[in-house]
């Protein structure tokens, strides 16, 4: 693989990881970063909507869904990194190499829908945060959110390590904000732990299943699989003898980062359950309602402000995922190279339209339903990314000695089957 054939040619192999004499800590730190960029998509404003409503409506019950979806995410992201490192091709390029052009067009379209749905969540989350913190109307906040793409592009031009540092700083802000809220909420430990045990009611209760699928869609984001397979190639490891070590470090990096995402997602639901469900506020569905009630219920004046700051950080951070994923999929599937700013302008423009229309027609109260619906769209796109990924990493011809074991392949296919089955059930119930 040469830089001109890479998804992100400007940053391909741009980060030195040290020679064989470097300490394990230095090697680990050099490989750390891509996992945190990927983890951004697992705690974006779309997760907030599903986690808040899940906690307020059903208490701690859906914690098991968060845990399951996070375990699936860890497996799939490790497979994505393995594909990118072992073959030197990201998931989109692998699809173009191995599938018929008509199939690739369908897969690209599905991925673009997922990116737009993710962008839609970012627009809403950022706009709501600006309204809560600075009293800017949602309509204008949504328009302002379009400008955060310029920040991402500016950081990318300064080097990929700068972009990773920016993302990790905002992730730390989100973690601290929810850590404080979690301590203030003081949830009963026994009930929290029991929430991680799966319940049959999740599958039989229509409203709970709808939110559960939304949580899976918000957590296991399809375009993140394309993203991870590309950004692991920013490291300057030996493209022949160093692949095995690179796969191990990349897997450890993403697993640690996604564990942080699990903590934040679980914290959102736990705070909602402790603050709202246990106090009889089961109908909390709007992020704004949660913001206004948090401080009075928890008795901590800064709780609501921390909530809004974390939301703004999450919305800003999630722009990174959409910007990079959009560029990677367009170049990978279509071999189409357009300026980064133009690609971002088109994608963000397509996401802005439904948000502005909903605000104009229904006012501020319609955006939360749109936010949760966007996560259902993400979940429906998952099979279009997961199935090709599993096909490739189980193919010895493509992967060589880095092909996954039979046990890993079985878990991967089981994960794909669960996602597909849940989507089919949602469609059947909806129809």
pLDDT at 402: 95
Tokens of 395: 């193919």
pLDDT at 45: 78
> CB under 8 Å to 345, separation ≥6 — which residues?
149
Report the candidate in 89, 80, 94, 95 with the shortest Cα–Cα distance to residue 39: 80
Rounded CA separation 257/173 (Å): 14
> CB under 8 Å to 367, separation ≥6 — which residues?
124, 127, 128, 138, 355, 358, 359
Residue 225: CATH number of its domain: 1.20.1740.10
Report the candidate in 229, 232, 226, 8 with the shortest Cα–Cα distance to residue 104: 226
- Residues 151-168: b if buried by 16+ CB within 10 A, e if exposed: ebbebbeeebeebbebbb
Give the side-chain half-sphere CA count within 13 A for 66: 30
- Interior CA angle at 50 toward 46 and 53, to 5°? 135
Whether residue 19 has pLDDT greater than 90: no
- The residue segments making up the domain with residue 319 are 3-430
Report the candidate in 199, 179, 221 with the shortest Cα–Cα distance to residue 45: 221
pLDDT at 98: 95
DSSP 33: S
pLDDT bracket for residue 41 (50, 70, 90):
confident
CB atoms within 10 A of CB 56: 24
Tokens of 344: 């971002």
3-state SS, residue 15: strand
Per the listing, tokens 């394309």 go with 226
Highest average pLDDT, of 18-27, 127-136, 208-217, 341-350, comes from 127-136
3-state SS, residue 280: coil
Report the candidate in 316, 318, 319, 299 with the shortest Cα–Cα distance to residue 308: 316
pTM: 0.89
pLDDT bracket for residue 224 (50, 70, 90):
confident
Residue 236 falls in which region: left (phi positive, over 0), alpha (psi -120 to 50) or beta: beta
> What phi and psi values does residue 254 have, to the nearest 5 degrees?
-70, -35
Tokens of 364: 């501020």
* Average pLDDT of the segment spanning 32-50: 83
Highest average pLDDT, of 14-23, 92-101, 296-305, 347-356, comes from 92-101
Per the listing, tokens 């860890």 go with 74
Residue 44 falls in which region: left (phi positive, over 0), alpha (psi -120 to 50) or beta: beta
As a dihedral over the C-alpha atoms of residue 246, residue 249, residue 254, residue 259, rounded to 10 degrees, the angle is: 170
For 99-157, the pLDDT digits (tens) are 999 999 999 988 888 887 777 777 788 888 898 899 898 888 878 877 766 777 777 77
Rounded CA separation 230/93 (Å): 9
The answer to which of 33-37, 44-48, 372-376, 402-406 has the lowest mean pLDDT is 372-376
Average pLDDT, the chain: 85
Rounded CA separation 217/58 (Å): 19
pLDDT at 149: 66
Note whether 29 and 179 are within 8 A (CB). no
Whether residue 2 has pLDDT greater than 60: no
For 331-364, the pLDDT digits (tens) are 889 887 777 677 667 766 766 777 777 777 766 6
pLDDT at 243: 93
For 386-416, the pLDDT digits (tens) are 999 999 999 999 999 999 999 999 999 999 8
CB atoms within 10 A of CB 189: 8
Tokens of 5: 């054939």
The answer to which of 9-23, 27-41, 181-195 has the lowest mean pLDDT is 9-23
Note whether 381 and 110 are within 8 A (CB). yes
3-state SS, residue 199: coil
* Total domains present in the chain: 1
161, 220, 335 from 32: Cα distances, Å: 10, 20, 29
> What phi and psi values does residue 395 have, to the nearest 5 degrees?
-95, 110
Note whether 233 and 331 are within 8 A (CB). no
Residue scoring higher pLDDT (270 or 319): 270
pLDDT at 237: 87
Rounded CA separation 137/419 (Å): 37
Per the listing, tokens 């089957």 go with 417
Rounded CA separation 344/119 (Å): 10
Tokens of 283: 């109908």
pLDDT at 348: 65
Tokens of 373: 């619906």
For 54-85, the pLDDT digits (tens) are 899 999 999 999 999 899 999 999 999 999 99
Whether residue 425 has pLDDT greater than 70: yes
Rounded CA separation 69/379 (Å): 11
């Amino acid at each position: 693989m040469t830089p001109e054939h890479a998804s992100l040619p400007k940053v391909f192999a741009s980060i030195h990881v040290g020679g064989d004499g470097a300490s394990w800590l230095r090697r680990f730190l050099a490989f750390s970063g891509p996992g945190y960029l990927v983890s951004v998509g697992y705690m974006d404003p779309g997760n907030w909507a599903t986690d808040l409503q899940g906690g307020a409506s059903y208490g701690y019950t859906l914690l098991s869904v968060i845990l399951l979806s996070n375990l699936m995410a860890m497996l799939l992201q490790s497979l994505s990194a393995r594909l990118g490192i072992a073959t030197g091709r990201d998931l989109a390029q692998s699809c173009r190499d191995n599938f018929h052009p008509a199939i690739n067009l369908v897969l690209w379209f599905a991925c673009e829908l997922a990116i737009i749905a993710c962008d839609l969540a970012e627009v809403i989350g950022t706009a709501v945060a600006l309204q809560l913190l600075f009293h800017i109307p949602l309509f204008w906040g949504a328009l302002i959110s379009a400008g955060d793409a310029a920040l991402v592009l500016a950081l990318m031009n300064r080097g990929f390590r700068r972009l990773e540092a920016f993302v990790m700083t905002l992730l730390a802000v989100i973690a601290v904000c929810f850590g404080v809220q979690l301590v203030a909420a003081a949830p009963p430990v026994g009930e929290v732990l029991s929430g991680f045990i799966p319940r049959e009611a999740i599958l039989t209760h229509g409203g709970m299943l709808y939110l559960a699928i939304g949580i899976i869609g918000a957590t296991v984001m399809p375009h993140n699989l394309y993203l991870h397979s590309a950004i692991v190639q920013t490291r300057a490891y030996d493209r022949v003898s160093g692949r095995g070590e690179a796969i191990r470090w990349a897997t450890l990096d993403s697993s640690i980062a996604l564990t942080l995402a699990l903590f934040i997602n679980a914290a959102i639901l736990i705070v909602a359950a402790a603050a709202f469900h246990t106090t009889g506020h089961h109908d909390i569905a709007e992020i704004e309602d949660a913001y206004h009630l948090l401080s009075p219920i928890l008795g901590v004046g800064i709780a609501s402000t921390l909530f809004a700051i974390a939301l703004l950080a999450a919305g800003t951070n999630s722009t990174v995922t959409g910007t990079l994923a959009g560029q990677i999929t367009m170049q990978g599937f279509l071999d189409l190279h357009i300026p980064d700013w133009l690609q971002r302008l088109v994608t963000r423009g397509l996401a802005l339209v439904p948000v502005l229309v909903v605000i104009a027609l229904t006012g501020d109260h319609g955006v939360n339903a749109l936010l949760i619906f966007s996560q259902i769209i993400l979940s429906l796109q998952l099979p279009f990314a997961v199935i090709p990924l599993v096909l490739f990493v189980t193919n010895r011809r493509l992967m060589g000695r880095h092909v996954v074991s039979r046990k890993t392949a079985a878990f991967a296919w089981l994960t794909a089957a669960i996602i597909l089955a849940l989507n089919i059930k949602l469609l059947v119930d909806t129809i």
